Structure 1
Amino acid sequence: MDSEQHGQDQRAVPSVGATPPPPPRQPPALPPRPPAPPGATVHPLVTWLRMPRPKAGPGIWRAGHKPRAAEEPDKVPTRQLLVGAVASALVGWLLGSLLWNGYLGQFWIWPLLLLTPDDAFQSMYFVVASWTYYAVVFGGIAVFFGRLGGWPELLRRTRAAVRQANANAEAAQGAPPPPPESDPALWPQLRADGAEAAADALAAELREGRMTDVDYARIDHAWRTGRARAEITEQVRARGAAACAHGSGARDLPARAAQHDLPLRQVRIGAAADSPRNPYVYRGAGIALDPAVLGTSALVVGPSGREPAEGIVGPVIESLCLQALAGQAAVVAVTSAGSAAPQNRAFDVVLRAGDPSIAHGLDLYAGLDDADEAAAVLAEALVGDLTEASRDDRWAATALAQLLGPWRAVHDRFPGVDELRDLLDSEAARAALRAALDEREATAHLRELDAFERRSAAPGGPAEALSTRVALLDRPAFHALLAAPGLGDAAGDRAVFSMQHIDRPVRVRIDLPGRVHTDASRIIARLVLAQFTEWAASRRDQSVFAFLVLEDAIQTVTPNSLRGLQSLRRSNAGVLFSLRNLSDIPEGLRDHLLAAVGCRIACVGVSSWDAQHFATAWGTEWVETEAITHRQVRAEHPGTKVWHAVRKMVTGRDVTTKSVTMRREERQRWSPSQLANEMQTGHAVISLTAVTGERMPPILTKLGG
């Protein structure tokens, strides 16, 4: 299928093979920033682009992020510090007043009297010496009680609060712009490459509010890829901010539900809770997802369904749709009724079971031409959930290949669902295929067909199991969804979407009737997963980030899908599995799935059984524990015994001594009990791994915060 069938120009970067103009020997000087007219306001997008984005670890929302110390400092509460400072000042003032007025005697001036000669008491020397001595004494008292009361720390906090207030005031009024050579609003990269005219035009579009963040990300990405820069420059001259537009012509989504930072390709999903359970460096930081961490694939488990859908799955789909409009990503979302995914208008291709009016059908064979490859993918969808990890799973693929190969040799295409069902069920259909092969003298394919019939005739042959699963798809509700290219009238006038097109920035939504046709929907979900992993790993051009979202991943995880998942990390692709419970996955595959994905998210309400798997996957860490021991003190002398008796009468407790022991021990980062019982509504524990290997430990996160 060509791109015209999709109605898309699937590349945001022009495909014209023009060579970019040679850069000048020295980058041209940036023009002076045009003065803003009195009373003019800076466009919000300009302010957003100029926001600082310091380097941070994986999963940290970097826009406006303020790094914290690695460890929490020993900090006295401000109220307690203020009370101590006032109390110490009063005591110091009282002591100084008593000394100055002589209420404590004259002993404190003896050092001055001893160091003064007898004939110098009436001289200027004594006056200077005495005032110097008084300054030293009272200065020492001030320093002593100042440090005792924490005045230096109180002053530091006061200065920090003033600086923060000034910074907030500046932020409210608009921070001063950065230098021209680092101002993203002036497009310094284009200027450095010699495209001053295009940079000036884009800067004007941005300054006057005719550009969206999608436009900025799309043009910047197209330029940085270094492809057809001459055509990009021409499009900027002719179309301004609409240059290099997505094939759909869309420059934004109809509506947004999450906060996005397209320059960094991040979507904010929440904020790390200010809890002792979180490392100090993460507390209060924004938590975000981007291709750098989604490229390791993700697992989201949440029994309620609301937190995973609205807090994580929906924002991820929305972010990838925006990135697709910027020419950076391709997303395939498998959803169901009541989905938190964006509206259908946010997608280029919408596939829906039971709707004959849909404009696209799903290629049953993923655009594959080889019968063995097509059979392997289809077998994974049909009976992949019946395969155990220790069992040879090639029987179904072999049986299907023995039918698909001969059929393609005769009809020059693969069979549709109804035709495949006839081949599995009907000896008459296989006899007609045999007769057609005899006419073509296709000896090799005849041997394949004979082998299938011998295996099917034996007890427990593959035909029965395969036929039962194909019959689930041979229903009117799925006739408009599943298609085999080349069927002609059987496929109607609909275009056929093939998973091979995920190397282009395409947005695809597949709606499945999970409640009515449960088994068939799960087969199609496994089919989409198998097709996605097959094509994502074999793409020649992997510059576009390809991502699959399975909003209800029940019975989609199989031994084969886990093996395919491992290859996606190095192929700039990933999969998000959303589950209500890990029990929806075969028991022998649960730990394997947690080990295969790099992003693990446990939402509130997980069961203790599921929490045990997460706790095991997150492992242990070394912590310092404090053990306090109380030992009763036994008096030996009569006076001490009387004193202890009085204390016990007053306090009601025996007289004891306390000993504190510090030790290091290894504990689980999150125990199953904590995960299952201590999380509050709207929270999740999230651990992330980047494709580079960097990790974020499990962090308690308030979703949407």
Structure 2
Amino acid sequence: MGLDGTQGKWTAPADRAPVALPQQRSQPFDLTAWISEPRPEAAPGVYRHGYRPTDPDRARDARVPAGPLLLRAALNLLVAWFAYVYGVELVLRLAGLLGLLNGLDQTTALVALVAVNAAVVAAVVRLFGRMGRWPEVWRRYIAPLLARTVTHEQPDPAEAARPTGPTDPWQQLRHRAPVAARRLDAEAVGDVDYVRIQRAWEAVLGDGELLSAFTEEVAARGAAACAHPSEARDLPGRGAVHDLLTRQLRLGTAQDVIKNPVAHRSAGLALDPAVLGTSLLAVGPAGTGKTARLARPVAEALCLQALAGTACAVVVGAADADLGPDEWYDVVIAPGDPASAYGLDLFGAAGEVEEAAARLADALLPDELSARAENARTALQQIVGPFHAAYRRYPGVRELRALLGGDPDGFAALEKALREAGQLDRHQSDLQHRMRQHGRADDPGTLLADRLALLDRPAFAECFPGPRPGKPAFAMRVLDHPLRVRVKLPEHSHPEAARMLSRLVVAQFVQAAGVRREQALFAGLVVDDASAALDAHTVRGLQRMRTANAGAVLLLRTLVDLPEALRTPLFGAVGCRMAFPGIAPWDGKLFSEAWGTHLVAETSVTHTPDTSGGLLRRSGRFVRKALSGTAAQTQSVTTRDVERHRWSPSELAHALPTGHAVISLTTVAGEQVPPLLVDLRG
């Protein structure tokens, strides 16, 4: 693949052969059955493919055991029969005593008898039917029995929504592009192919002039038409469950527990761009499955959507993190690895020179020096601005380090270049101020030069653009295209450099995602360890990404890895929060406060000594205490509604089972899902 960092365009390499549809599925993909599967509307976070909506009455009925329910219904039916028989007789006798039945002819007396029977039956059914839960018995047992024996069995509401016959995948194409439809009928079309071709067809519907080009493309290439520039049509080794029609990733199963809402119990939990657009923060210690059960599936989903032309993905993590093979990605950036084909543009996110310099300064400074960030930004802008004006390019790492360190030869050459470009008057004041600051104890330029020395290493010689041609540098401004990017950080060989690069890549993504021209593509960021990647500017940018069709998935081992001033703002900036088993109680406290409280019915039982009665009862209680050793007590039961945390810090820290997590969701439209206990293993 080639990249043009200046224009933000990219193309597939000429020597790369088309990638055939991988055969990782055990059976051929049944496109018709996949499309025909019902996808009813559901609450946010519910996996809609094959979803069967839960009947609230059935969910409530299922909580009552069958034995006690049927016994109570039978006892109430028996009592109701006697109440009916003696009730009718009692009403007739009272009517006779009052003389209401005197002088009635046979017809009127019969009508009165029927009315009395009907009134008594209604009263008896209303009273004993409620106590005996007859409507529940009817729904659970009698109605299904009658449906099977007397009438045709009624289908489940969700089953009724299933199409009765096969669905034509290419029905929309048959009228306007019959040649393309016939070619696709003869092809083995996968889910990625279908979504990609349908997206191209939607473009044709919006612009009729594209119809002939679309027809020619499909007639010539079949299911490979309108392919991703990499020519890939699927990902090797797909492991997660996806539904590309709804763009959902099935992450796990919401458990059937009282803490979960009824609509989500036993349903699949899904993530999609509407949810990821508010960003997701996941916290859990190492070994709890954050990477394997969250980061890798999300990265896989974003890469599949990129192949379908609906998303672009940037995945950041250590070189040995299991975030998918390199074949999943179009661009693999591995600073410090000589085999890496791509480098990273340190200024590749912003069109404005000063903004790009400010983001680089934020990335270079460690957390403990964040108080000097403003001076560092100014110092870097005083170098990068004049350099870009003089040479029409950004400085390389070594050039920038020398100028920040006060190299006189570098300043002389820069002044000469500015004079030749006619820009010296405009930038001379910045250069003079920078030269005056050099040598002072509080000079931020010296600090930045020392930090840049971590990147000015032989292992990174060709990783960053400079005066000499090197590796093609990836610029984050190309997020307008369905790219799949993997950044492998050298956490073991160069840990501090990895921290700086992580912060720089995340800051560039947040910066570039908000100013994209093509915001129809969802821009997704996955950071396997975000402890070094977050600063105040990035946290503020997370909120702005909601309106830019972009979102981030940030993984942390513990919130203690972040500066204390960032923890609460980070919780407020993300809309989705996820807690894994084994988090620390102080981490659980922030989750518990963010998820708030709800009303629960609390029952308290009070036991007090029984002092009631006269001499005989007190004597009996005295004898009982002497014989059994226990005093007689009275019991009082009090039920009241109290506010309790949805999940307490102690529950999050100690009660979550292995392979589970608690997650709350918020959509871009503002819909919220309370925290759900989810099994991530299925």
Q: TM-score, normalised by structure 1?
A: 0.80
The alignment status of 1:238 with 2:220, answered yes or no, reads: yes
Which residue is 2:192 aligned to? 214
The alignment status of 1:630 with 2:613, answered yes or no, reads: no
Write the distance in 2 (CA, Å) between the matches of 1:239 and 1:160. 55
The alignment status of 1:525 with 2:506, answered yes or no, reads: no
- Aligned pair in 2 of structure 1 residues 276, 623: CA closer, same or farther (>3 Å)? same
Query: Which aligned pairs between 1:657-672 and structure 2 lie closer than 5 A?
Result: 657-663=635-641, 665-672=642-649
User: Percent of pairs identical after alignment?
Assistant: 42
Query: Which aligned pairs between 1:35-434 and structure 2 lie closer than 5 A?
Result: 44-68=30-54, 73=60, 75-82=63-70, 153-158=136-141, 177-178=163-164, 183=167, 185-190=168-173, 194-195=175-176, 197=178, 200-201=181-182, 204-205=185-186, 210-225=188-203, 226=206, 228-366=210-348, 368=350, 370-383=352-365, 385-386=367-368, 388=370, 391=371, 393-434=373-414
Which residue is 2:530 aligned to? 553
User: Does the 8 Å CA contact 2:11/2:229 hold for their aligned counterparts?
Assistant: no
> Following TM superposition, by how much is the alpha carbon of 1:384 offset from its aligned partner in structure 2, in angstroms?
6.2
User: Does the 8 Å CA contact 2:38/2:161 hold for their aligned counterparts?
Assistant: no
- Aligned pair in 2 of structure 1 residues 287, 161: CA closer, same or farther (>3 Å)? farther
- The residue identity in structure 2 corresponding to 1:201 is R
- The residue identity in structure 2 corresponding to 1:298 is L
> Following TM superposition, by how much is the alpha carbon of 1:88 offset from its aligned partner in structure 2, in angstroms?
7.7
Q: Choose the corresponding residue for 2:662, options 685, 693, 696.
A: 685
Which residue is 2:100 aligned to? none
> Following TM superposition, by how much is the alpha carbon of 1:637 offset from its aligned partner in structure 2, in angstroms?
1.7
- Aligned pair in 2 of structure 1 residues 219, 160: CA closer, same or farther (>3 Å)? farther
* Per-residue Cα deviation, 1:403-437 (whole angstroms, up to 9, x for no partner): 12332344332221122222222523434424524
Write the distance in 2 (CA, Å) between the matches of 1:179 and 1:630. 66
The alignment status of 1:696 with 2:673, answered yes or no, reads: yes
Q: Secondary structure at the match of 2:453?
A: helix
> Following TM superposition, by how much is the alpha carbon of 1:201 offset from its aligned partner in structure 2, in angstroms?
2.8
Write the distance in 2 (CA, Å) between the matches of 1:642 and 1:453. 103
Superposition CA RMSD, Å: 4.1
- Aligned pair in 2 of structure 1 residues 167, 503: CA closer, same or farther (>3 Å)? farther
The alignment status of 1:654 with 2:632, answered yes or no, reads: yes
> Following TM superposition, by how much is the alpha carbon of 1:653 offset from its aligned partner in structure 2, in angstroms?
5.0
Which residue is 2:519 aligned to? 542
> Following TM superposition, by how much is the alpha carbon of 1:241 offset from its aligned partner in structure 2, in angstroms?
1.9
Q: Secondary structure at the match of 2:253?
A: strand
- Aligned pair in 2 of structure 1 residues 270, 627: CA closer, same or farther (>3 Å)? same
Runs of 5+ unmatched residues, structure 2: 15-26, 97-109
- The residue identity in structure 1 corresponding to 2:176 is A
Q: Secondary structure at the match of 2:60?
A: coil
Which residue is 1:436 aligned to? 416
User: Does the 8 Å CA contact 1:647/1:655 hold for their aligned counterparts?
Assistant: no
* Per-residue Cα deviation, 1:629-664 (whole angstroms, up to 9, x for no partner): 33433232233235545766569452313232323x
Write the distance in 1 (CA, Å) between the matches of 2:194 and 2:154. 27
- The residue identity in structure 2 corresponding to 1:395 is N
Write the distance in 2 (CA, Å) between the matches of 1:170 and 1:693. 29
User: Does the 8 Å CA contact 1:187/1:202 hold for their aligned counterparts?
Assistant: no
* Per-residue Cα deviation, 1:11-52 (whole angstroms, up to 9, x for no partner): xxxxxxxxxxxxxxxxxxxxxxxxxxxxxx996332222122
User: Does the 8 Å CA contact 2:193/2:233 hold for their aligned counterparts?
Assistant: yes
Which residue is 1:498 aligned to? 475
Q: TM-score, normalised by structure 2?
A: 0.82
- Aligned pair in 2 of structure 1 residues 438, 528: CA closer, same or farther (>3 Å)? closer
Which residue is 1:487 aligned to? 468
User: Does the 8 Å CA contact 1:201/1:240 hold for their aligned counterparts?
Assistant: no
State which drifts further: 679-688 or 433-442.
433-442
User: Does the 8 Å CA contact 2:76/2:129 hold for their aligned counterparts?
Assistant: yes
- Aligned pair in 2 of structure 1 residues 427, 148: CA closer, same or farther (>3 Å)? closer
- Aligned pair in 2 of structure 1 residues 409, 186: CA closer, same or farther (>3 Å)? closer
Write the distance in 1 (CA, Å) between the matches of 2:347 and 2:184. 47
Q: Secondary structure at the match of 2:239?
A: coil
Write the distance in 1 (CA, Å) between the matches of 2:644 and 2:441. 53
> Following TM superposition, by how much is the alpha carbon of 1:365 offset from its aligned partner in structure 2, in angstroms?
1.3
> Following TM superposition, by how much is the alpha carbon of 1:284 offset from its aligned partner in structure 2, in angstroms?
1.5
Aligned length: 635
User: Does the 8 Å CA contact 1:260/1:266 hold for their aligned counterparts?
Assistant: yes
State which drifts further: 674-683 or 158-167.
158-167
Runs of 5+ unmatched residues, structure 1: 10-40, 100-106, 115-127
User: Does the 8 Å CA contact 1:190/1:196 hold for their aligned counterparts?
Assistant: yes
Write the distance in 2 (CA, Å) between the matches of 1:160 and 1:262. 39
- Aligned pair in 2 of structure 1 residues 458, 575: CA closer, same or farther (>3 Å)? same
The alignment status of 1:7 with 2:9, answered yes or no, reads: no
